[in-house]
Amino acid sequence: MQDVTASDLPGADGFLRRSVLRVLAWVQAGMAHLHYGYLDWISKESIPITCDAEFLEAWAGLKGVVREPPTFATGTWSGTGTVGTDLPALTPILRNDGFQYQTTADATVGGGSTVTAPIIALTAGSSGNADAATPLNLALVIAGLNTVGSASGAIIGGADLETDDSLRARMLAIYQYPPQGGSKSDYVEWCMAVPGVTRAWCAPMLAGAGTVTVYTMWDVVEAAHAGFPQGTNGGATGESRNTDATGDQLIVANYIYPRQPVTALVDSRAPVAQPLAFTVAGLIPSNTTTQAAVTAALQGMLYLKASPLADTLIDQSDADAAISAAPGVVSFRVTAPTFPQTPTAGNIFTLGVITWA
C-alpha cells in the first residue's frame, strides 16, 4: 500500500498560493510577529529612558516631575487719549498679525494724555511673546481713547506645552542627581522646570561667599533673540539683598526663591553672546547644500557644548566630530580658530562667521 503524504491531500500542497498550509503558515507567522512586537513594546515602556506618551509622564511623576503646561504671555499696553478716560479690564487688543490680547485691570488716561494697562495673551504659547514697541491696537472703539497703541515693554512668559524630549531630560536628571537641598544640580533642575527654559547652568560663589549665579537660555520662546532671555539681571521680587531682576530673568529668580536654601543669595542672569568664527578649508563637495549642513552641525555642537561657565572647553575634536557627521561631507579641514577655546566667564559661544577656504 502506498503511503499518503501531505502533498497528496487536496488543498494541502504548500506550493499553491491559496493552500491550507500556506494560509496556516501566514497566520502563525503573523501571530508570532505581533506577540514579539508586543513584548518589544513592553520592554520599551518599562524603563524611563525609552518610554513615551503616558508612560513617560507616569515615570516622571514618580520623581515629582510633571510636564510643563503652556503658559500665557503677559506685558503692558501703552496708548494715548483724553485725560480721565477709563480703559476697562477685559478690553480686547490686537497685534498686526491678528493675535489677540486683553487688558487684565482697569486703567485711566493720566495727566500726560497717556495710559498703560497690563495685558495677557488669549492663547497660550510662545506665539504670544512680542518685543517692546510692537504695535498693538484696541479691537473696539472707546470714546476718548486712540485705538493705536503699542507694547510699552517686552511681552514675555508665553511658552508651549513641554515636549517629550524636554520632559525626559528633566526626569533623567532627577534620577541621576537626586535633590540635595540646594546643590549645584538642584539649581539647574529648578531653572529647567521654568516653562520656556531649555538650558541652564549654575556658578556657585561667583559673586562671593553665599552667592549662587544661574544662567538660562530660552532657545524656543526667545528664538527671535537667538534664545537669549529678555530682561535685566538680578534677584527675586522678595529678595531684599539684591536688585530685582526683570523679564525672563525675574521669572527664573521668582521660581527658585521659595525652593532655595534661606541663606543663599541667588542672581539670575542672561549669558552674553561671544561669537566664535570658523575657517573650514578643503570642503568636499563644496556646494551650498554641504555648507548649510556644516553650518547646522557647528550650531548643534555649540548648543550642546557651549556654556557661560569658566570651565567650558571647545576643542578641535568637537568641531571635527560635528562636521564629520554632517550629511554629504566627504573631506574638510578646520583651520581656525586656534583650539582649545574657552569663553570669558558669563559669555557663551555662538556661531560666528564661517569662512570657506
pLDDT of residue 19: 77
- 35 part of a folded domain: no
Instruction: Give domain status of residue 184, yes or no.
Output: yes
Do residues 130 and 225 make contact, with C-beta atoms less than 8 angstroms apart?
Answer: no
* Vertex 205: Cα angle to 201 and 207 (nearest 5): 100
Q: What percent of the chain has pLDDT over 70?
A: 95
For residue 200, the cross-strand partners are 216
> Do both 216 and 280 map to the same domain?
no
Number of structural domains (the chain) is: 3
Residue 27 covered by a domain = no
Q: Which of 151, 169, 189 is the last residue of a domain?
A: 151
- DSSP designation for 277: E
Same domain, 223 and 304: no
Q: What is the pLDDT of residue 23?
A: 82
Check whether residue 210 and residue 143 sit in a common domain.
no
The grid coordinates of residue 322 equal: 560635528
User: Within a domain: residue 22?
Assistant: no
| Cα–Cα separations (whole angstroms), residue 29 to 7, 23, 70 | 21, 10, 45
Question: Which range marks the domain in which residue 116 is found?
Answer: 74-151
pLDDT at 4: 55
Residue 10 placed within a domain:
no
Reported as a single tens digit per residue, the pLDDT across 254-279 is 999 999 999 999 999 999 999 999 99
Mean pLDDT of 53-74: 94
Domain boundary among 269, 288, 304: 269
* pLDDT band per the 50, 70, 90 thresholds, residue 3: low
Q: What is the pLDDT of residue 11?
A: 56
Angle (deg, nearest 10), helices 164-176 and 184-192: 160
| 156 and 225 Cβ atoms separated by less than 8 Å | no
Is 56 part of any domain? no
